[in-house]
């Protein structure tokens, strides 16, 4: 599998997140990566409640306190590091995570 560069670490400085299209063997998936301290996670941008993208604004995936990921559609709150929904209509379900790693100054899909 060819490694795909998703973005630079510094691309996450402003909002803590970045939307990207992941290319896997010709199939394209809307995804986003988030950073909290040294931790990086990658998630498919599809809410388990209604399979809609979580964000209405570019790269906006956090709540106001940056303590959870939030779905702008119906307000579901997700744990940042596990993707599990803690509150909202899809409580107990999880975002789909995909493996990412840091390579130098870049984040790549592993
Ligand atoms: S689509 Fe995310 S909470 Fe409804």
CB-defined site of ligand 1, < 6 Å: 47, 49-50, 52, 71, 73-74, 76, 88-89
Distance between CA atoms of residues 96 and 50, nearest Å: 14
Distance between CA atoms of residues 94 and 12, nearest Å: 22
**What is the reported pTM?**
0.95
Among 30, 52, 61, name the best residue to mutate to test ligand 1's pocket (greatest count of ligand atoms within 8 A of Cβ).
52
Provide the CATH number for the domain around residue 86. 2.102.10.10
Domain enclosing residue 30, as ranges = 4-109
**Would you give per-residue pLDDT tens digits along the chain (110 residues)?**
678 999 999 999 999 999 999 988 889 999 999 999 889 999 999 999 999 999 999 999 999 999 999 999 999 999 999 999 999 999 999 999 999 999 999 999 98
| Ligand 1 atom having least distance to the Cα of 75 | 3
Q: What does the DSSP 8-state code read for residue 96? A: P
Domain count, the chain: 1
């Amino acid at each position: 599998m060819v490694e795909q560069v998703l973005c630079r670490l510094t691309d996450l400085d402003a909002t803590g997140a970045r939307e990207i299209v992941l290319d896997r063997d010709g199939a394209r998936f809307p995804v986003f990566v988030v950073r909290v301290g040294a931790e990086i996670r990658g998630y498919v941008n599809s809410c388990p409640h209604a399979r809609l993208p979580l964000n209405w604004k570019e790269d906006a995936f956090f709540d106001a306190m940056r303590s959870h990921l939030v779905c702008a559609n119906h307000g579901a709150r997700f744990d940042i590091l596990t993707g599990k929904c803690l509150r909202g209509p899809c409580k107990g379900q999880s975002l789909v995570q995909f493996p990412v790693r840091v390579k130098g100054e870049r984040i790549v899909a592993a």
